[in-house]
Amino acid sequence: WRARKKEEVFLYIVTKWAFAFLTGFIIGAAALIINFSVENIAGAKWLVASSYMTSGRTMTAFAIFTALNTGLVFLGAAMTVYLAPSAAGSGVPESKAYLNGIDAPRILEPITMVVKLLGSICVVSAGLYLGKEGPLIHIGSCVAYFLGQGGSLRYHMNWRWLRVFKNDRDRRDLVTCGCAGGVAAAFRAPIGGVLFALEEVTSWWRSALLWRAFFTTAVVAVMLQLGKQFCAQGICGLFGEGGLIMFDISHAYGQFGLLDLFPVVILGVLGGILGSVFNKLNTRVTKCYIYWYLRKPPYVKVIHACLMAILTSACCFWLPFLVKCRPCPDLSDIPGYKCPTHGQTGNFKGFNCPAGQYNDLAGLFFATKDDAVRNLFSFKTYREYHYRSILVFFGVSFIFSLITYGIAVPSGLFIPLIINGASLGRLVGMIMTTTTGNKMDEGYFAVLGAAAFLGGTMRMTVSLCVILLELTNNMLMLPMIMLVLLIAKTVGDIFNSAIWEMYVRIKGYPILEAKPEPFMQQLTAKDAVTTSVVSLSPVEQVSTVLMVLRNTTHNAFPVIGESSTTGRKVFLGLVLRSHLLVLLKNKAFHYASSGSAENSKMLQFTDFAKPATGKSLKIEDIDLRPEEELEFINVRHITNGSPYTVLESASLAKAYTLFRDLGLRHLCVVPREPEEEPIIGVLTRHNFLHENLQNMFPYLMPKKQAAGKTILM
């Protein structure tokens, strides 16, 4: 584009920013819709169930409660299974894969987005151990992908004027902004969103992108703030203060001394161990589900999801009956608390208890997941929970979050992990405050526990820290949260890798990590070449080109000509399959092999622009008359004359770095000595994949991959 006119550059820039704005706007709207719907549906559900409870009709309450939950999950699961199977799960691995350069079909389609949105509303309202955060990130990516592609051909929504992004980089950048916006919308954490995209999702990052992602998340933040203020007037039904997830503890005590570091270290280690255990078990459960589903008809998935809903409802409803009612504490020094409460929110739930008493477990189980977290994080509510209650809650939450994530509905992991961590932290806090007389609040421990568990599973540091700070709106907790995250990540990395990485591997996305594997040092670039080179001459007969395109699946072909002086073979460059197809489609042929320009059509630069996914030409689309096949085609003008090359003797690690850091699709391996063939092979993503190299050179592999360890370096 640098060669284009000033106006075009200006238009291009304006479009980029306009698209970033639009992305943020749509994500903000989607987040508001989800939150508004969930709060209203779930709120209504709790109100109905509670009213039956207070009137003593417990069984009726349970029946209605379970029926509503199951119905909602049925809707969500049916949509997912029959309309958009790729909408299942969180969508973070998918976004990550796309941004690593993988064009997986259908994962970012509009239908996926719609199902993700509606499905999320259903299953989150139904109270499954799932969050809406992961799906919002996926929705953000989908919105950005849709805009970046200029619509979608499959759904006849493509507008020519929208199609301004002609290359992968611009599209990828927009999807990065979309991811950041999704996180920002999920947690109301605009800075956390940018950092999440930077730390976890993208593979390439530029400073200019930082700025645009920041703009997107700012738009999202403003949207949410305005939506919240609009709803503060009370016209949004049950969607009010607690609506958008935010666990405000800004007025809490944030001082600490040297001695307080000890329980924090314990919490970090616990978070790291339990987080890696969670990673291990969760991925194993998901794998089981996948194998089990393989041989079953699709409706099995729907039934499975519904069973999960019934099980969850039963636990949430009946478990609180196991604990004894406790007398209400004196809450006069905490403004806004009352005891006991009934209905949707509140710390001290009345549930089945007489007036003046509360059921501590009901405040956790018989509430939305957001409220449960809020209750766990609550400060100054010393000894609100009994040991047994919090232990039961932790155990049940841990098991449910393990077995729920793999079912066929849109599901996020953040909220379940926060719940696990917060209950663990509260437990540790209770033990600490009793045995050591530690001055820190139990709520403080709950926040740190959430940080530890998240750090132990996701293995991020900076972005999680910022997200937690933005969620809790308390900067004074920063040093402790940092510490606990660092410890949890370090401990977790000893056992296995981050959960998203494990899911990327389960789903089989050929992601290239940022650093080469150590064994690549022992291989040369030549070793990784697997397929023999299929090359073209600068002027080829059409039939030859057709044959080459039909008989190979290569996406790039080296062009090899002859030196005008010595007559020896010279490597002229790479020509792309897609560009060859454009030439063939437009019949830009010559009569003679001399390649004279007569009769050849002039093609515009824009004709070669990369089309959106699903719109690219295929060899089957080419239909030529026999006499045309005898003509000649001059590929010289569409040859990339200076592709990136490595010497055959270069270490594979070096080639990997070049390939990965510059985001290449093809890397040519050239010989050291000029008398051989001028090119040895073309390396693509698959040549660098760990699994493929493992099959070729099994003896080089270490016995046991201590995953994640390389990240320490």
Q: Is 67 in the site for its own copies (CB under 8 A)?
A: no
Q: Is 206 in the site for its own copies (CB under 8 A)?
A: yes
Q: Is 674 in the site for its own copies (CB under 8 A)?
A: yes
Using alpha carbons, select from 443, 36, 417, 422 the residue that is nearest to residue 244.
36
- Contacts (Cβ under 8 Å, ≥6 apart) of 642: 573
Angle value at C-alpha 185, between 274 and 446, nearest 5 degrees: 35
Residue 546 DSSP symbol: H
Beta strands at 157-158 and 645-647: parallel, antiparallel or unpaired? unpaired
Q: Is 57 in the site for its own copies (CB under 8 A)?
A: no
- 493/288 Cα distance (integer angstroms): 24
- 14/23 Cα distance (integer angstroms): 14
Kindly state the smallest distance separating residue 59's Cβ from its own copies, in Å. Answer: 45
- 456/473 Cα distance (integer angstroms): 22
Q: Which stretch binds its own copies (CB under 8 A): 336-344, 395-403, 433-441, 473-481?
A: 473-481
Concatenated DSSP letters of 360-374: TTHHHHSS-HHHHHH
In the list 33, 83, 162, 570, the residue contacting its own copies (rule: CB under 8 A) is: 570
Kindly state the smallest distance separating residue 113's Cβ from its own copies, in Å. Answer: 25
In the list 11, 277, 281, 482, the residue contacting its own copies (rule: CB under 8 A) is: 482
Element spanning 558, H or E: strand 556-562
In the list 521, 530, 551, 593, the residue contacting its own copies (rule: CB under 8 A) is: 521
List the interface residues with its own copies, window 256-315 (CB under 8 A): 256-258
- 530/532 Cα distance (integer angstroms): 7
In the list 129, 214, 317, 348, the residue contacting its own copies (rule: CB under 8 A) is: 214
Q: Maximum CA pair distance of the chain?
A: 101
- 684/214 Cα distance (integer angstroms): 33
Q: Is 501 in the site for its own copies (CB under 8 A)?
A: no
Query: Does residue 340 have a cis bond before it (omega within 30 degrees)?
Result: yes
In the list 63, 478, 533, 689, the residue contacting its own copies (rule: CB under 8 A) is: 478
Residue whose entry in the numeric block shows the structure tokens 């089957």: 620
Q: Is 455 in the site for its own copies (CB under 8 A)?
A: no
- Each residue 646-665 as x (binds its own copies by CB under 8 A) or -, in order, gives xx-xxx--x--xx--xx---
Number of other CB atoms surrounding residue 341 within 10 Å: 18
In the list 642, 695, 699, 704, the residue contacting its own copies (rule: CB under 8 A) is: 642
β partners of residue 681: 669
- 271/627 Cα distance (integer angstroms): 71
In the list 645, 692, 694, 705, the residue contacting its own copies (rule: CB under 8 A) is: 645
Kindly state the smallest distance separating residue 192's Cβ from its own copies, in Å. Answer: 10
Q: How many residues bind its own copies (CB under 8 A)?
A: 78
Closer of 521 and 551 to its own copies (Cβ): 521
List the interface residues with its own copies, window 240-259 (CB under 8 A): 250, 255-258
Residue whose entry in the numeric block shows the structure tokens 């501590």: 360
Beta strands at 157-158 and 681-683: parallel, antiparallel or unpaired? unpaired
Q: Is 711 in the site for its own copies (CB under 8 A)?
A: yes
Closer of 496 and 639 to its own copies (Cβ): 639
Q: Is 470 in the site for its own copies (CB under 8 A)?
A: yes
Q: Is 476 in the site for its own copies (CB under 8 A)?
A: yes
Q: Is 461 in the site for its own copies (CB under 8 A)?
A: yes
Q: Is 171 in the site for its own copies (CB under 8 A)?
A: no
Kindly state the smallest distance separating residue 457's Cβ from its own copies, in Å. Answer: 16
Kindly state the smallest distance separating residue 649's Cβ from its own copies, in Å. Answer: 5
- 432/305 Cα distance (integer angstroms): 39
Q: Is 226 in the site for its own copies (CB under 8 A)?
A: yes
Q: Is 707 in the site for its own copies (CB under 8 A)?
A: no
C-alpha 319 chain-centroid distance:
34
Kindly state the smallest distance separating residue 504's Cβ from its own copies, in Å. Answer: 15
